[in-house]
Structure 1
Amino acid sequence: MGTLAAPRKHSLHFILSPAAMARDAPDVPGVTSPKGVTGTPVASAAATTVRRPSLTSLPADVLGMIAYHVVVQDNHAGRPSRLLPLLKTNRTLHSALNFDANPVLYNRLFRATFDLGALVRRTQWMFDVNTDIPGTSRKTELFANPRSWAMEYRDRWELRNRIRACIAHQSVNVPGMSNRENRDTDMWGLWFLWTENDEKNIIFLTEECHFHEWIICYYKDDMLKDSLKSGYPRDTAVKALGIWTALLSGSDLLSERSAAQIDDKIFMLRPYIFSPSYELTYGPWEHRRLPLCDTGCTEHAPISHYAAPYKRFGHKHMRAPPHFVLGAYLVFMRLLERQPGRVGLKSDSTVFQDTGRGVFSLTHIMSSLYHDTEWQRNTVCQDPHTSPGLPPLTFHGRLTGFWRGNLLFYDFDAYRQMLSGNMRSLYTGTFAQHAVELDLHETVIRIRAEDVGGKGSLLNCGFADEETEEEQALIKDGYGHQVLTGDAIYAREAPGWTKEILLSGGCRSAWGWSRIRGRVRAWDGLVTLSIGHSRPYPCGQWVWRGYLQTGGYFVGRWRDCFTPETQAGYEGPFGLVRAGDLFYPPHFPTTMNASAGVTKLDFGPNGPNNNSSALSKRKYSEDDYDERERERERDREREYEYRAGAPDDRRRRRDYD
């Protein structure tokens, strides 16, 4: 028989009886037995019986160390259920190792199981900007107490159990396990796990939570069912967390195995993509300076409608997640690149001259560092009434460069019918996609606080009603204010003064070349661009407003400038990616000069219709459609009429009119 291997020194047997371990171990050069212990025990008639140590006789901290290594083995954290044999051994061990008696143990298990870098880094940011943590003024208590970590450890494993139950029942509503209140909490927990992931969290999400199976279950049982109800589907903070976790995890690619699944996804997304009734900003875009009141104002009621409560580390907080419609824009544009033939795309759409995969084709699992800015924004931009907002130059350097992306233009007749209340047009209208390229330049200026946002029209981004090369040069020179460079950009400002980012550059589209003017609202990073009249085919002036999202996406909504800003205008989504950022395809050109441009629209020998209204230039009549497009539209109408009137309860039911 072979020689038995010696027990490892970190085993429980060694902790209880190290002398016996040394006695039983094979001879190893350089290793001697403890003094008084020989290699061969000698029997003695007068040998004294020595009581072997037991677990119950060990100090509490040693028991905690033993329990820790029972769960964490070979630097891999297992399930807390590994503690059950110890907890059920006797009352002494249970009283020493249970959750209430030993929070230090579960604090250590949390740190071994989950990523910590983002928690430490973001908490330090809160202290650096001298901002109270939302929901509590006791900043130091959040992480100082080990019981807070222990409670979060328990909550995350309870989250795992609820998710597993939902997967087993293929429903997000499981009696006794998962309900709407739990689902709201779980959505926040999942969003934090993804945005704080550096390596450990994704192991927990995939191996323990089976996240990708659960997100499909949530999509089918919640989001799809909600789209079948009469009227516009809801836009809530919890739904926003759902679509953004799907994007961050790459799960938006799922549920596309059949034509029916693709149609379901298009049906669910259409209202969010083309209806202007959904909000996309943390504060109204008409306000140039926020907050409206000083922090702590009690005279006026809060005006935030998107912030939602959640519980974390034993404390209750409020937070405003990234908006649902911005995530929906990205999901739809990615879907459009994969399934261009099933989404109602018009034949007069334009694309980039370069061949290859689409601009939104890449999927990455990002480290927590990429999510820091978004976490900061939804922490301090919850309420435009009193929330302090971001530091002025949070997005400095993130806009300069070459951008590529797409605009979506909904059929104008269908859009007008939709605004009048005809929901059927929202599901049957066609739309065009137009490729665009931007070249942006940032200018940082020192400015008085009351002058932030400019004095001109909002549709001109606060600049004068001009559009010349001279004005482009004026913006780069500070537009009458001091331009900051080098160390002066980050120097503290005197009271009453602040900094602002001005934007200038150009845009290339199917209509030609346009000049760009813009600003970044410091409070929440809202980027507003004024796109001037294009040349050689002037098709009106447009204003874009949107946000830089995690990974470098620039996503938002364009709007015509013919309609006053106080009225509902002609609007649609846009999405762009900057060259050199994480999601920019590596085969694409990185400068405007290196790009082959975009395909052009055929306006005929007389150019586009030269009506005075910018809207009428986008108005499509029946004569503009070729026979193929008209037939495609009739097919879609017949399909939706059939589904709306089908007796099968599993089919869609919606009151279109």
Structure 2
Amino acid sequence: MPSSPLSLNTIPVEVLHHISFFAATHQQLGPPSALPALLRLNKRIHHALSQHVYPLLYARIFLAKFDGSAPLRRLGAHEMTVRALGDELRRRFDVMGRVRRKFGACVPETSSYEDDEDDETTLHEASLALWTLYIMLLENTSLNERQLREYAHLDEWLMDYWFHPLGASCTTLSIIQGRWPPNNECTALAMWLFWLLLRPETIIKDDQLYRQVLSTLKPLALAAHRYHLCHPTWTSFLPASSSSPSSSQNPSPYTTKNHTTTHVPLYAFLLPLSIPPLAAPAILAYLVLANHYVPESVLFGAGVGGGMGLAGGIGMGGMGLSTGMTQLAIAIPERTTPSTTTTTVVEVDRSRKWDYEWARCNTLGASPYPVIPAAPAGGAGSAGDGGGGGGAFKPGSIEGVWEGIFTYTEFTSYAALLSGAPPSILQKSLIAQHRQTWKLREHHLVAGVGYPPLSAASSTHSSPSSSPASSKRPPKGNTRRSSPGADERNEQQHPQRIPPGDPLRAYFPNDAVLSEGPGGVDVTFLASPAAGAPSATSEEEEDTAMAWDLSALDMNSNAGPTSPATATSARERKSIFYRRFSAHALDFASPSSSGTVGDGDKDGVRHEEGAGMGEGGVEYARKVRDIIITGEGHSAWGEFRLLGRVRPCDGFVSISKEYIQGDRGKWLYRGYLVGTPDGNLVGRWRDTLSPAEVHGYEGCFGMTRRM
């Protein structure tokens, strides 16, 4: 009996699905170019393979070409539907195709600076495309970066965007014309992309390109009066939400007029996101390239990271290791090579590195700004699992020893800059730098934890204030009873953080007194009494009247306390205990946690996985209500004390640095921890003599954890 002729129409649908998947994915990089040819064969095949009829095919193609572990962890399985993955597949290759064609990298010669800057439609379309690329890198374990580098050639697109005379960022053109480069959402996203894809060796090998890149990055990194470090403004510890009537009061030159929230299409739904300003990645890129003698072992070692070898402020490079000095480095993002992504463990570890950058974009994009505790991990709009920073900061991640540099400009040049000088003044200025080492300890205000014995606090330190009251020991009224009453038990379950203080003193009240012991820090300050509470007339009554009402305080005010003469009559002593991270982090860890506390915990060096690892760590992070940082350090200018806080809404770190001897004074360091756990603490320092409402003398700094 003659057999019927073979035809695609006779192939079972299940087999056709396997054929189409293989045809679409046999080349990992680039779009599924073979799939359109199959769809055009006939109506039956087109219907069987269409996304409407068989969305699972497109979801499988997405997971074969892009990394999926990070979005699954951050958004949850309920958002990662097969149709959502198919929509994202189409969107990503549409954006990457435009990047591959160099669309939007440069502007036509006939376009003027004003036309490009004021075209809101063009900027909005560009920002959505840049958001897609940025999210891909935050989700990267291996495949996303390969698609962006090897198929889309995003690194080449960024070089044209930033450094071509007609680059769409208008940076080079602006500097030539004596203007400051635009500071908007597109340039912020593009600078984050530039940092995440930065390979210093590709720029350093071309001397002319190296000088051009460094000259362009210099004003973006150092001009603090033009390119703000954070939003909301650094002067607010608990910023008002955008819906608050008082949020527009007390304007400051640091007001973030360029702060925008964009509803980004992501996996078939719109997610409100806000990109952190360009200052942090610009500073990181500048510091790496300014110290351009990079050891080959650092440049080509995947997962090691590095970017500068320093000795007394000048680049030393790999040969400088022979001096016996500890090598300092700014950790650059890890490279992707086929050999580094062969196991699932590596992929999971790498995808988690940027979880807190994602959380920062997520929490700042929501309105009102979320505060501690963090929302549960997973789900759209989730703040992640880093409760101490509203999801944008992992409790325990800053504990340890950090090394790096701080830079400073000639004072006369910076004064001219604040008086209206063009960016060329910075390009011509000499930038000096010094090494420094920090030894930091984290202390957490944790819900549901009883108070420690009196021996937990043994040494007294005052807040960074010159107030005479700050040097006194806590009064006897701070003594805690061994058997807490109902009010105290309620306060343990719902503890109140110390109120916001002077932003120039790392948000500590001027009258605060810190007593630090091996178990943590006891903070004593003057606080408003609870509404209707009687005034304390004795030590015993003062001990029972510790409850205070936050509504009685102006939480958005940055003014200092009232004068001592009137403060004691209207306010009462309040004492709050912050537990040392290394002393208690594993108390809440799950039994399966692999982290251990070793000898390094005794001196505040580095701790193995503590809070934030596993279910127990997530539960611990949710209990953290506030984070205080204490420590000490040294530089060429002498030894100093460190005291700081972490802002709840975005993980913004503010640290007061006070030199112990000499007349070096006090300085305020502000910045973000970029990349967790082994990332960079980066930001700017400023003087504390200038009022917070005006621009002061500032420089930049970068720190990385000692390995």
Measured against the shorter chain, the TM-score band is 0.5 to 0.7
Instruction: Tell me how far apart the structure 2 counterparts of residues 502 and 204 of structure 1 sit (CA, whole Å).
Output: 41
Q: Which moved more, 1:459-468 or 1:269-278?
A: 459-468
Instruction: Tell me how far apart the structure 1 counterparts of residues 235 and 51 of structure 2 sit (CA, whole Å).
Output: 51
Q: Deviations over 1:605-646 (max 9, x none)?
A: xxxxxxxxxxxxxxxxxxxxxxxxxxxxxxxxxxxxxxxxxx
Is the Cα–Cα contact under 8 Å of residues 70 and 352 in structure 2 kept in the other structure? Answer: yes
Change (3 A) 1:248 1:300: closer
Q: CA deviation at 1:376?
A: 1.1
**Residues 199-598 of structure 1 aligned to structure 2 (within 5 Å):** 199-219=142-162, 220=164, 221-223=167-169, 224-251=172-199, 253-277=201-225, 278-290=227-239, 292-293=240-241, 305-338=259-292, 349=313, 354-355=324-325, 358-360=328-330, 364-365=334-335, 367-382=350-365, 385-387=368-370, 390=374, 391-393=386-388, 394-423=393-422, 424-446=424-446, 452-454=497-499, 456-463=501-508, 471-473=515-517, 476-479=520-523, 480-484=575-579, 485-486=584-585, 487=587, 499-535=625-661, 537-550=662-675, 551-580=678-707
Change (3 A) 1:567 1:179: closer
Is the Cα–Cα contact under 8 Å of residues 685 and 701 in structure 2 kept in the other structure? Answer: yes
Which residue is 2:54 aligned to?
A: 102
Instruction: Tell me how far apart the structure 2 counterparts of residues 498 and 114 of structure 1 sit (CA, whole Å).
Output: 35
Q: Give 1 or 2 for the bigger CA radius of gyration.
A: 1
| Corresponding letter in the other structure for 1:458 | P
Q: CA deviation at 1:315?
A: 2.7
Instruction: Tell me how far apart the structure 2 counterparts of residues 297 and 455 of structure 1 sit (CA, whole Å).
Output: 18
Q: Which moved more, 1:481-490 or 1:540-549?
A: 481-490
Instruction: Tell me how far apart the structure 2 counterparts of residues 455 and 207 of structure 1 sit (CA, whole Å).
Output: 48
Q: Deviations over 1:392-428 (max 9, x none)?
A: 3342111111111111111111111111112243332
Change (3 A) 1:303 1:185: closer
Which residue is 2:20 aligned to?
A: 67
| Corresponding letter in the other structure for 1:262 | Y
| Corresponding letter in the other structure for 2:93 | W
Instruction: Tell me how far apart the structure 2 counterparts of residues 333 and 492 of structure 1 sit (CA, whole Å).
Output: 37
Change (3 A) 1:380 1:165: same
Secondary structure of 1:67's match? helix
Q: Deviations over 1:253-300 (max 9, x none)?
A: 54444443233223312222222222212322222224x24x987997
Change (3 A) 1:216 1:556: same
Instruction: Tell me how far apart the structure 2 counterparts of residues 153 and 231 of structure 1 sit (CA, whole Å).
Output: 40
Is the Cα–Cα contact under 8 Å of residues 331 and 680 in structure 2 kept in the other structure? Answer: no
Is the Cα–Cα contact under 8 Å of residues 505 and 515 in structure 1 kept in the other structure? Answer: yes
Is the Cα–Cα contact under 8 Å of residues 628 and 645 in structure 2 kept in the other structure? Answer: yes
Secondary structure of 2:291's match? helix
| Corresponding letter in the other structure for 2:656 | S
The share of aligned pairs that are identical, in percent, is: 24
Q: CA deviation at 1:378?
A: 1.0
TM-score when normalising by structure 2? 0.63
Change (3 A) 1:299 1:412: closer
Change (3 A) 1:523 1:214: same
Q: Deviations over 1:528-551 (max 9, x none)?
A: 11111342x321111111110014
Secondary structure of 1:421's match? coil
1:183 aligns with 2:137: no
Secondary structure of 1:399's match? coil
Q: Deviations over 1:509-537 (max 9, x none)?
A: 121111111111222111111111342x3
Q: Which moved more, 1:306-315 or 1:385-394?
A: 385-394
Instruction: Tell me how far apart the structure 2 counterparts of residues 60 and 296 of structure 1 sit (CA, whole Å).
Output: 54
Is the Cα–Cα contact under 8 Å of residues 102 and 157 in structure 2 kept in the other structure? Answer: yes
Change (3 A) 1:388 1:399: closer
Higher relative contact order (CA 8 A, sep 6+): 2
Which residue is 2:608 aligned to?
A: none
Is the Cα–Cα contact under 8 Å of residues 303 and 385 in structure 1 kept in the other structure? Answer: no
TM-score when normalising by structure 1? 0.68
Q: CA deviation at 1:564?
A: 1.8
Instruction: Tell me how far apart the structure 2 counterparts of residues 232 and 59 of structure 1 sit (CA, whole Å).
Output: 63
Change (3 A) 1:383 1:312: closer
Q: Deviations over 1:434-464 (max 9, x none)?
A: 1111011111124878953546433222446
Q: Deviations over 1:322-363 (max 9, x none)?
A: 3211101011111111179xxxxxx99589985476522755
Q: Which moved more, 1:301-310 or 1:82-91?
A: 301-310
Unaligned runs of 5+ in 1: 1-47, 128-139, 341-346, 581-657
Secondary structure of 2:444's match? strand
| Corresponding letter in the other structure for 1:560 | D
Is the Cα–Cα contact under 8 Å of residues 328 and 403 in structure 2 kept in the other structure? Answer: no
Change (3 A) 1:380 1:363: closer
Which residue is 2:70 aligned to?
A: 118
Instruction: Tell me how far apart the structure 2 counterparts of residues 299 and 543 of structure 1 sit (CA, whole Å).
Output: 27
Is the Cα–Cα contact under 8 Å of residues 453 and 519 in structure 1 kept in the other structure? Answer: no
Secondary structure of 2:235's match? coil
Q: CA deviation at 1:201?
A: 2.0
Instruction: Tell me how far apart the structure 2 counterparts of residues 149 and 173 of structure 1 sit (CA, whole Å).
Output: 35
Change (3 A) 1:267 1:59: same
Q: Which moved more, 1:90-99 or 1:358-367?
A: 358-367
Q: Which moved more, 1:56-65 or 1:101-110?
A: 56-65
Change (3 A) 1:107 1:351: closer
Q: Deviations over 1:351-400 (max 9, x none)?
A: 99854765227552372110111111110123674445745334211111
Q: Deviations over 1:65-112 (max 9, x none)?
A: 321122234x95774121244223223222332444433321221122
Secondary structure of 1:499's match? strand
Instruction: Tell me how far apart the structure 1 counterparts of residues 515 and 690 of structure 2 sit (CA, whole Å).
Output: 24
Q: Deviations over 1:37-92 (max 9, x none)?
A: xxxxxxxxxxx23324532244544432321122234x957741212442232232
Change (3 A) 1:478 1:270: same
| Corresponding letter in the other structure for 1:49 | P
Q: CA deviation at 1:498?
A: 6.1
| Corresponding letter in the other structure for 1:209 | A
Change (3 A) 1:154 1:403: same
Change (3 A) 1:252 1:100: farther
Change (3 A) 1:427 1:208: closer
Change (3 A) 1:112 1:460: same
Instruction: Tell me how far apart the structure 2 counterparts of residues 434 and 72 of structure 1 sit (CA, whole Å).
Output: 51
Is the Cα–Cα contact under 8 Å of residues 407 and 436 in structure 1 kept in the other structure? Answer: yes
Instruction: Tell me how far apart the structure 2 counterparts of residues 270 and 525 of structure 1 sit (CA, whole Å).
Output: 26
Q: Which moved more, 1:307-316 or 1:470-479?
A: 470-479
Q: CA deviation at 1:154?
A: 1.4
Secondary structure of 1:338's match? coil
| Corresponding letter in the other structure for 1:325 | A
Which residue is 1:194 aligned to?
A: 137
Instruction: Tell me how far apart the structure 2 counterparts of residues 180 and 491 of structure 1 sit (CA, whole Å).
Output: 38
| Corresponding letter in the other structure for 2:577 | Q
| Corresponding letter in the other structure for 2:693 | T
| Corresponding letter in the other structure for 1:149 | L
